[in-house]
Amino acid sequence: MDYQTISAPFLNDIRSETAFCSFNDKFEAYSAQVPDDRALSVRMLISSRVLRLIRLRIDNFDDLPDENVLSAIYSAFFAPKSTQAVLSKLEATAMSSTTASNSALLAYLDRFDRVEDLCSTYLPDEKTLRRTFIRGLSPDSLRRRVKASEPETLADAKRAAFQEVETLAEAKRTIAEFGQPEVPRPQATRPPPSFHPTRPHATAAPAPHFPSNKPDNHKPAGTPAK
């Protein structure tokens, strides 16, 4: 690889958080491509005008380790000044994808991790970070599965998210290949068309017969008179 062709980014504007974050992303990409012995120090990529402003804002800036320079700049110029403000910034990184994919999850992790790194002074506690990360997952099926796994740490939640994305992707591939399994529906039991139940007719019970105490004046025909 011709390292001379890799253009190093330069920080020329310290007034805009968007410009600073863009520089931060480009610097990370630049550092990943160039070996450590050939990569330029981050201080060498900041314009002299911006350096003067940074030195006015950050005490002992020139004594900071190179790996702490960017986080120190962000904390001094852009970082929220309260834990609640950092929490709101973390919540703003939430996923908006309607499908679970590795690319969407990686992008979410990058946004979440950047806020963690750059706003370290006022970060919420571990439990709040874990819950905030899980709430930011999307779609709902991914969020529910990660929450059901009951991760104990933020790192556990991140690992669980990747595992569940793979599980959902595998289920989607299976459905695409074999189709959605049919679930048999219970059939309602109905009588045959010729069957018409009828109510039985009520029959009157015979009246009871009781013997009479009156004298029987009726005589059969042919009986002689006395």
pLDDT in tens, 170-226: 887 777 667 665 655 555 555 555 555 555 555 555 666 656 555 555 555 555 555
Apex 172 CA angle, 169 and 174, nearest 5: 110
Which pLDDT belongs to residue 65?
A: 92
User: Hey, what are 61's tokens?
Assistant: 């800036």
Distance between CA atoms of residues 172 and 139, nearest Å = 14
- Within 8 A by CB and 6+ apart from 130, the residues are 151, 153, 154, 156, 157
| β-pair partners for 11 | 46
Q: Could you tell me which residues come within 8 angstroms of residue 169 by beta carbon, excluding any fewer than 6 positions away?
A: 100, 101, 102
* Token pair in block for residue 141: 């099926």
pLDDT tens per residue across all 226 residues of the chain: 455 556 889 999 888 888 998 999 899 889 888 887 788 899 999 999 999 999 999 999 999 999 889 989 998 999 888 999 999 999 999 998 888 889 999 999 999 998 998 888 889 999 999 999 999 999 999 999 999 999 999 999 999 999 999 998 888 777 766 766 565 555 555 555 555 555 555 555 566 665 655 555 555 555 555 5
Domain boundaries, the chain: 1-78, 80-177
Predicted local distance difference test score (pLDDT) of residue 164:
93
Q: How far is CA 92 from the centre of its chain?
A: 14
* Predicted pLDDT at 222: 56
Q: What counts of helices (H) and strands (E) characterise the chain?
A: 8, 0
CA distances, 93 to each of 65, 83, 86, 184, 221 (Å): 28, 16, 11, 42, 120
**Predicted local confidence at residue 202, as pLDDT:** 55
Query: Which residues are within 8 A (CB) of 5 and not within 5 positions of it... i.e. 6 or more apart?
Result: none
Using DSSP, state whether 177 is helix, strand or coil.
helix
The structure tokens listed for 66 are: 């190179």
Amino acid 223: pLDDT: 55
Q: Among all chains, which residue has been given the structure tokens 């630049």?
A: 30
Residue 8 and residue 2 in contact, taking contact as beta carbons nearer than 8 Å: no
SS3 label, residue 46: strand
Quote the CA–CA distance of 105 and 26 in Å, as a whole number. Answer: 20
